[in-house]
Structure 1
Amino acid sequence: MQEMKREELSSKARKLTYSLAVLNAVVIGLSFLLVKMTLQYAAPLDTLTYRFAAAFVIMIFPVGFRLVKLHYRGKRLHLLLLLASFYPVGYFMLQTCGLQYATSAEGGIISAFTPVATMTLASLFLKEAITLLQKLFILLSTAGVSFIFVMKGSSLDLSQTTGIVLLILACLVFAGYSVLARVVTREFSPTEISCFMVGTAFLSLLVYSLTTHSISGTVDAFFAPLANGTFLALIFCLGAIQLVTALLANYILSKIEASKMSVFANLSTVVSIAAGAIFLQETITWYHLFGSALIIAGVIGSNVSMNKIRSQPRIQPQRFE
């Protein structure tokens, strides 16, 4: 009876985790729309800096008023620092620099392989059991994202090797974050991890942006967007989204395998396509629909196949008396 209750609770917790993973992908997908709008007012790196600045400001209030309690004393902070250096600092730095030498479409194609990289690293370092069927579904989801970008007339221009190498490194760094987070969540709560990540990213990006603008003599251009009310509203929305998605991602990674979490990220591509069609009147073609179907089938299949294996009754060893 107790085992049945534990299995029921486990099933409910698993459903909640999957629901949050879908919600996280939806929020990230919608955030692409806001990012596109902010680029009308500021450069990509400046927008990213302000985005984490807003997340940091929003975070200060619950922490300052003791609504959220953080316990870092006596814990291995170097793990958090390593995690934050992977994501968001390392990932966004590599991605932003990579997109200066490569197209956004190339970035989309390469980022689609993040679940594959995560699956490989999780298998090597965390010894996560990944079945052949699950691997095939993850590859199917990856193929869906790549198919959309390729059909849009995009391909990898190998002559742009600098950008491609940086984007591949960004992909590997994010995969490393997903794997390392599984270890870090055993010692730190999702809130502690998220607050540390946001604070580290804000300080790192602020120093980098101010240094870059100071060298090029464009400090005024960095602060200019702050005079625009629309930009401020968009940035605070993105800051809130950044904080929420960080909390969701770290919570999800504390509950399910890194390989399963990473494949949900491809759903954000589907959401961003739908958001672009609804709010920006962007055209949706047959290959958008076909690619989206592959992505969704891959996400569902990779998780259902694993759940079926878990739900199989275990064979009890026979007793010989």
Structure 2
Amino acid sequence: MNTTRENGLAYLAAFLYAIIIGLSFLFVKMTISAAHPLDVLAHRFALSFFAASIPVIFGWLPVRIKLKDLWPILRLALLSPVLFFAFQAFGLMNASSSEAGIIQASVPVFTLLLASYFLKERSSGLQKVSLLVSVAGVIFIFAMKGGSLLGSGNFQGVSLLLLSALSFAGYSVLAKPLTRTFKPMELTYITLGVGFIIFNIIAVGRHSFDGTLNEFFQPLTDISYIGALLYLSILSTMVTTLLSSFALSRIEASKMSVFSNFSTLVSMAAGAIFLNEQLRYYHIIGAIMIILGVLGTNFLGNKRSSLDTAKQTVSTEAVLQKK
């Protein structure tokens, strides 16, 4: 497989990732209205891990991880899924989907800063401007819709969502060098396993302490909850982890992260198609800004910068392996 085709597949993976994430906030809100956020996360990762275990058990996708290799992957799993999903679920209890959408737009900015410092990824002035244009497009849409962070009074929810965005930015930066050592399925399987163990221990432990263990299983009798859980478990957790790991193995972390802003366009399109929501002029302006920003961030760089980034990424990987 040549480099051009590999990069094309990486961009396709990033685009599919954005589509799936764009629909996930709706399903998260559905599940946390029926169960405690910790129960949702426990159910979500149990289903994700069991689904991922099927091809591993049958040998269709072998996972060969040595004990000494676990530590860097465990650090990765702490950022996402553990902190990222935990902050997101609790944040959405006290904040709206619109606020979550605005804060999600900050991920590329955090990623660019962290990648510049830790991975020494270089970006041109035009790329930085393009990233800001994309972020501004997201904020413009929600501002015109009446969304406001400062006036919402949901400081706790907004703060948790901001920590969620920062956690995912850290995950993207840490995952980049690891994708050159481990296969996407290996990273996915271990991180899902960590999420499964941690969230289920916490959720079951909480119910056992309160004597309400029956409440842990009660939401699983709700068909609508199961439907939302399937989307979150299979597509929005397992598949997106695979897609992001694959994309990060081919393109820079800062370029991958800006695709998350496409999720805003997906949310808008879904609202227009399924909920008959109106698309107004500011939706179109914001969409154009997002698309131009994503294209500029990914294609306005220079070849020399890309080569330097690749060399720095390999150096970072060597440092992590020594640790």
**1:44 to partner: Cα distance:** 4.2
Aligned partner of 2:162 among 158, 164, 168 = 168
Aligned residues: 304
Change (3 A) 1:37 1:74: closer
Change (3 A) 1:288 1:251: same
**1:217 to partner: Cα distance:** 5.1
On the 8 A contact 2:92/2:161 being kept in 1, the answer is: yes
Query: Is the counterpart of residue 211 in structure 1 residue 211 in structure 2?
Result: no
Q: Give the number of the structure whose alpha-carbon radius of gyration is greater.
A: 1
1:192-212, CA deviations, whole angstroms, 9 ceiling, x for partnerless residues? 100011111122112222234
Query: Matched residues in 1 for 2:214 and 2:56: separation?
Result: 32
The share of aligned pairs that are identical, in percent, is: 45
Aligned partner of 1:196 among 190, 194, 197 = 190
Give the residue type in structure 2 aligned to 1:194: T
1:185-232, CA deviations, whole angstroms, 9 ceiling, x for partnerless residues? 122111110001111112211222223444555433331121133432
**1:148 to partner: Cα distance:** 1.6
Using the TM superposition, name which of 151-160 and 65-74 deviates more: 151-160
Aligned partner of 1:57 among 50, 62, 74 = 50
**1:298 to partner: Cα distance:** 0.7
1:214-255, CA deviations, whole angstroms, 9 ceiling, x for partnerless residues? 455543333112113343243223322021111110011111
Change (3 A) 1:15 1:288: same
Query: Matched residues in 2 for 1:11 and 1:65: separation?
Result: 33
**1:67 to partner: Cα distance:** 1.5
Equivalence map 1:1-321=2 (5 Å): 9-39=2-32, 41-73=34-66, 75-157=68-150, 160-215=154-209, 218-241=212-235, 242-306=237-301, 309-310=302-303
On the 8 A contact 1:33/1:276 being kept in 2, the answer is: no
What root-mean-square deviation, in Å, do the aligned CA atoms of Structure 1 and Structure 2 show? 2.4
What residue is the counterpart of 2:321 in the other structure?
none
On the 8 A contact 1:190/1:251 being kept in 2, the answer is: yes
Q: Secondary structure at the match of 1:76?
A: helix
Query: Matched residues in 2 for 1:224 and 1:88: separation?
Result: 24
Query: Matched residues in 2 for 1:161 and 1:310: separation?
Result: 43
Q: Secondary structure at the match of 2:218?
A: helix
**1:81 to partner: Cα distance:** 0.5
Query: Matched residues in 2 for 1:77 and 1:20: separation?
Result: 25
Give the residue type in structure 1 aligned to 2:145: K
Using the TM superposition, name which of 68-77 and 270-279 deviates more: 68-77
Change (3 A) 1:216 1:266: farther
